[in-house]
Chains A and B, each alone.
Chain A
Amino acid sequence: MTLRDLKPGQQGVVVSIATTGSMKRRIMDMGITPGVEIKVVKVAPLGDPIEVNVRGYELSLRKEEAQEIEMK
């Protein structure tokens, strides 16, 4: 299961991040590291990107980026 599969209101714990390079770095710099809890807040009006709550703040990311984040 990835972050993309979660619906608004659902939450999960990050297992790993599949992508590499600058995108991975950016994801981790923003606080999405293994073991952290993420809650999906909402989906943008046009269906993408999504808004999540992580480490006490709101972060937006595209669905294709959310797909790289493995959850449990």
Chain B
Amino acid sequence: MSMTIALAGNPNCGKTTLFNELTGSKQHVGNWPGVTVDKKDGVYKKNKEVVILDLPGTYSLSPYSAEEIVARDYIVKDKPDAVIDIVDGTSIERNLYLSLQIMETRIPMVIALNMMDEVEARGDKIDCKKLSEELGVPVVPIVARSGKGLAELMEAAIETARNHQKSERVQLFDDELENVIAGIADLLRGSDPDESWWKAIKLVENDEVVAKTIDSAKMDSIRKLVESANKNAGGDAEAKIADYRYQYIGKIVKECVRKAHRGHVETKSDKMDKVLTNRILALPIFAAVMYVMFACTFSENFLFIEGLPSPGVWLAGIVESVWGLLTDAVVGAVEGVGASEWAVGLVSSCLDGVGAVAGFLPLVLVLFLLLSFLEDSGYMARVAFVMDRIFRHFGLSGRSFIPMLMGFGCSVPALMASRTLESDKDRKITMMITPFMSCGAKLPIYAMFAATLFAEGNHTVIVFSVYMLGIVVAIIGALLLNKFAFKSDTSNFIMELPQYRVPTLKSVLIHAWEKVKGFAIKAGTVIFASTVLIWFLSSFNFSGMCDMEESLLATIGNGIKWIFAPLGWADWRASVGVVTGWIAKENIVATFGQLFGGVSDEVVEAVMAGEEGLPAIGEVFNKVSAYSYMAFNLLCMPCFAAVGAIRREMGSWKWTLRAVGFQMLTAYVVALLINVVGNMIF
């Protein structure tokens, strides 16, 4: 008989480690519908009939975050055969709070008491048998990192699932409150008394999500009952319920846990934290960590050594040259058998499409090895702690700093790094503004315009000002999105700072691998399809194959150029540049090289490096319209690879299109302002 066992627990309780230990590398990662929350499942290594599903880490089953809603909807509606609730033995009180809420749903469950090695190292003792008796739920001590106790845990979980053994109903509340809950449950009279009871508790807790599912006729009488509960609880039954849960936990912890020392004992982690978030040292350490992360992924002069590539750049170089050789060989072979020109073009564009995906994989891999290390070690929470003061003004989490910083290297890994943010809203906003950070591929565009149209001494200022423009627009964009698109008042910073732990190699590797695989599959299809489409548009017209000047793309460029007239560059070649820039932004330079006079590849390379100008573009651009064009390409839809990454992370086309729409609109408005104001001044 096949069964599903869901893992639930607080963030940082070792849930992911347990999941990895139970399922090995056979995992399937996707998104829960509509939200940027990972959905992971896998098959239990020792019994193929058992599917393990990893629920998002939550502290509670309140309806205030995407994670909480996903976790509780799954438990209440999809009803797994059993839930394994992972409790971190080192902070057992807070962890049991979630356990009590899961017990309220009366789903069959087992508690896995994790981190027992750390508990023992502190000299504390937890009486699992007693705890199990008190809660009426099996309790199994484990050490997820080393795999200790996992066989016993799974045995207990499978047994519980087979017997449909419901967790017991513990009386947490006083008689009056219990009576009110019973009264509401009676009114609801659903087919499932356990569900009615759970809903009744939630209604007393003012749960709007549950309230919406009740028909309004019943809601009136329910409201009266909730009112009376509030009156008995000094005006706030919701608070009283949380209080009762913690009171109950306090009572059983007193009975089941024997601490070696009274009060708080300084751990190794506390000592580390004294240095890492020290008032004076914290910011230099933070800057150093961020520098190392950026440099490892993107730097061409790693550790300031001229010409030494970083691991990310080195790997990307290898992938690129291997792919280049492969492409040449295949195209050569296709030409060799005498295939027609369009067939050769199709093959080489398909290979380019796949190559475009492959070239990003090393960057994603290296960045995520480092990010997983930071996340699992507990330092990521401190990043938010240190940066919150600055980022809260933009309505973002301190953790947004990482995706935004990485955006200066490449938007693709940067967008994927947004997954480290805590809230769905922060993740979405950060993804929408991260491409405004000017990535490495946009630099050649600025170099071309600077060398062609601006005086020698102004080049640095021009390029620097475009970078600053991106940052300023990102900040304004975040503020506007917060105010108008995401009207939520739930911005708070009440966050756990977990103990520092040495990450396990296995967890870091699995996480990085998941990211690489996810990008290759989900984003890969988007990139591949769009690269081939643009190739087709730029090499064909209705009578067959042709040069870009006569292609469908040129026709489209001519057709849409009027849109850009207010921005100062109503020219078909400029419009075509925007489109080819979506394959990769530096393509704009090559496209201009071809369309403005057909210069050689060597000249294009010199232009990209800013060593030479492309005088012919002076026909279309002056200083103001050039700046408007740079700003537009900085801010408009990023390359297809980045759109693919947005699609992968957002998990929905609707949100992907919203993000791209927001970026296009922003680009248009900013470029328009530059053109209008620029022409007034110059």
Contacts and interface: CB of A to CB of B under 8 A. Distances in A.
A4 interface: no
Interface in A15-59: 17, 21-31, 33-34, 36, 39, 42-49, 51, 53, 55-59
A20 B120 CA distance: 39
B59 A30 contact: yes
Interface in B460-489: 489
Interface string B228-262: 00000000001100110010000000000000000
Given A23-B492, A31-B93, A59-B494, A49 B62 contact: no
B212 interface: no
Contacts of B498: 57-58
Given A30-B59, A58-B497, A60-B497, A49 B385 contact: yes
A55 B497 contact: no
B264 A44 contact: no
B389 A51 contact: no
Contacts of A17: 239
B243 A33 contact: yes
B167 interface: no
A1 interface: no
Contacts, number: 118
A24 B496 contact: no
Interface string B274-307: 0001111011000000000000000000000000
A31 B94 CA distance: 6
Interface residues of B, number: 40
Contacts of A53: 264
B198 interface: no
Given A29-B60, A62-B392, A55 B493 contact: no
A23 B260 CA distance: 35
A17 B493 CA distance: 16
Interface string B388-408: 111010000000000000000
A22 B243 contact: no
Contact of B94 (A30, A49, A60, A65): A30
B567 to A, nearest CB: 39
A26 B264 CA distance: 24
Contact of B282 (A24, A30, A45): A45
Given A28-B243, A45-B278, 14 more contacts: A28-B246, A29-B60, A29-B62, A30-B496, A31-B246, A33-B246, A36-B246, A44-B386, A45-B279, A56-B264, A57-B91, A58-B499, A60-B385, A62-B388
12 contacts: A23-B492, A29-B97, A33-B243, A34-B243, A44-B386, A45-B386, A49-B389, A49-B493, A55-B94, A56-B90, A57-B496, A65-B492
Interface of A: 17, 21-31, 33-34, 36, 39, 42-49, 51, 53, 55-62, 65
Interface of B: 59-60, 62, 64, 90-94, 97, 238-239, 242-243, 246, 264, 273, 277-280, 282-283, 381, 385-386, 388-390, 392, 489-490, 492-499
